[in-house]
Structure 1
Amino acid sequence: PAWMKDNNNMKQGGKLLPQFYNSWATYYTKFIKEYEKEGIPIWGLSIQNEPMATQRWESCLYTAEEERDFLKNHLGPTMVKEGLQDKKIIVWDHNRDLIYQRAQTYFDDPEASKYIWGIGFHWYEDWSGGQPMYENIKRVHEAYPDKHIFFTEGTVESFNANRYNAWVLGEEYGRNMINDFNNGMVGFTDWNILLDETGGPNHVQNFCFAPVHGDTKTGKLVFTNSYYYIGHFSKFIKPGAKRVIASASRSQLLTTAFRNEDGKTVVVVMNQGDIKTPYFLWIKGQAAELTALPHSIATLIF
């Protein structure tokens, strides 16, 4: 709420005033209980969406130390006091660029770390003109293997209905999911599974693509290729699956693999190139000859 922040505004960044730390922690617990009273179970929560970004929409800034201290001195104890210690608490919830530095601050403090299920991240580090920093996910996974690394938001921005069939939509999801899973990510959530024909609704005109768009005038649903790219993971890789090592010998091919609890192996292969690419799937000395069509994704189960 605006009155809890130093800029007296729910939007445009600003910081939570220290005198309201306890009140804000209590607000979280009341929110969870009211939702569950209506039959909507809450699995977990993050402390703050994008705590390093001053946004034109609702936002609040925290340094790593401020977020850590709010958790260990206020939110964590309050969640326990209210009997909500089973809810998963996720820290950071921002881009890969600073995830390792933030992780050190949270996880190296045992009094904060004991409340943390995992660390969340987004894929927007290209805001500075750079490339996705997948290696930072690996660094966190190697340094803190007992903590879960969870993708909490990603979307393709700048909605344009003329680009519904653009390959970049699905490939953005496939490329990120494969690389992040291979580096230690344990789960993925999209920004919005369904938006309207404008890429909204959105109260600050931040119109984006979604896997599915519903035309509010005609009732028609448009399934973009990102819907099907996500399905190659969500449909075949089951909860509880364990990742197994997989590597590609062609730079245009990306791959990841999982072993489901029923013993079946799932291999996802994505061709991000413009040419048809033959390849061999090698498993323990046996091989199957296959072909990846240009700009395609396939799932192999055996």
Structure 2
Amino acid sequence: MKNHLGPSFEKHGHGDVKIIIWDHNRDVIFERAKAVLSDSVAAKYVWGTEVHYYVSEEFENLSKVHDAFLDKHLIFTEGCIEGGPQAGEWHTGERYGRNIIGDLNNHLEAWIDWNLVLNEECGPNHVGNYCDAPVIVDTKKDEVHYNSSYYCIGHFSKFIKLGARRIGSQASNNCL
């Protein structure tokens, strides 16, 4: 970032391109973001940090990045339900909802799904790590299936509008 990518973008007239670092899980996001953003020369080329939801639900690590680097942005760029199609399952939407809420409560600004639509074989996929998606299109039967994750995303999209601001909130799970 510091010696090659950032200077090259700037030199070739692409200084307005928003460069986002990390593109991986929450568990070590703070350590990885800090390694780049603590260097003022490298940091000047970075717009923000992106995160995935695999491995952990250590949402507080997003707040650590936010609090240490207030001028940088945080966005979610990848999440899916592993293990192939899971039609009719509620845990898929519950996982999306839990992660969206946990991330938004820790300064996340945007949430982008990895695969909104896949076919009945959870593809196309060039590496064989088949996952579920909010929408599964059965190309053989010419049918569309909407999973609970689809409705979860829709719920957030309906109520969180452009320019919305995060307010203080607190969650607890007293039902267990």
TM-score of the superposed pair, with normalisation by structure 2 = 0.94
| Matching of residues 1-302 of structure 1 within 5 Å | 71-125=1-55, 131-160=56-85, 163-248=86-171, 250-251=172-173
Residue type of the partner of 1:151? F
Q: 2: CA distance between counterparts of 1:109 and 1:240?
A: 30
Please, what is the CA RMSD of the aligned residues?
Answer: 1.5
Q: State the Cα distance separating 1:247 from its structure 2 match.
A: 2.3
Q: 2: CA distance between counterparts of 1:85 and 1:222?
A: 42
Residue type of the partner of 1:193? L
Q: 1: CA distance between counterparts of 2:166 and 2:72?
A: 16
Q: State the Cα distance separating 1:179 from its structure 2 match.
A: 0.4
Residue type of the partner of 1:230? I
Contact 1:200–1:206 (CA<8 Å) still a contact in 2? Answer: no
Q: State the Cα distance separating 1:236 from its structure 2 match.
A: 2.1
Structure 2: runs of 5 or more not aligned: none
Q: 1: CA distance between counterparts of 2:40 and 2:126?
A: 40
Paired residue secondary structure (1:91)? strand
Residue type of the partner of 2:166? R
TM-score of the superposed pair, with normalisation by structure 1 = 0.56
Paired residue secondary structure (2:131)? coil
Structure 1: runs of 5 or more not aligned: 1-70, 126-130, 253-272, 275-302
Q: 2: CA distance between counterparts of 1:141 and 1:208?
A: 30
Paired residue secondary structure (2:127)? coil
Give runs of ≥4 in structure 1 deviating > 3 Å: none
Deviation per residue, 1:38-97 (Å, 9 max, x gap): xxxxxxxxxxxxxxxxxxxxxxxxxxxxxxxxx111111111122222221000111111
Paired residue secondary structure (2:161)? coil
Residue type of the partner of 2:58? M
Q: State the Cα distance separating 1:204 from its structure 2 match.
A: 1.7
Residue type of the partner of 1:234? S
Q: 1: CA distance between counterparts of 2:31 and 2:151?
A: 34
Paired residue secondary structure (1:177)? helix
Paired residue secondary structure (2:42)? helix
Deviation per residue, 1:219-255 (Å, 9 max, x gap): 211110101101111222112211111224x515xxx
Paired residue secondary structure (2:4)? helix
Residue type of the partner of 1:148? H
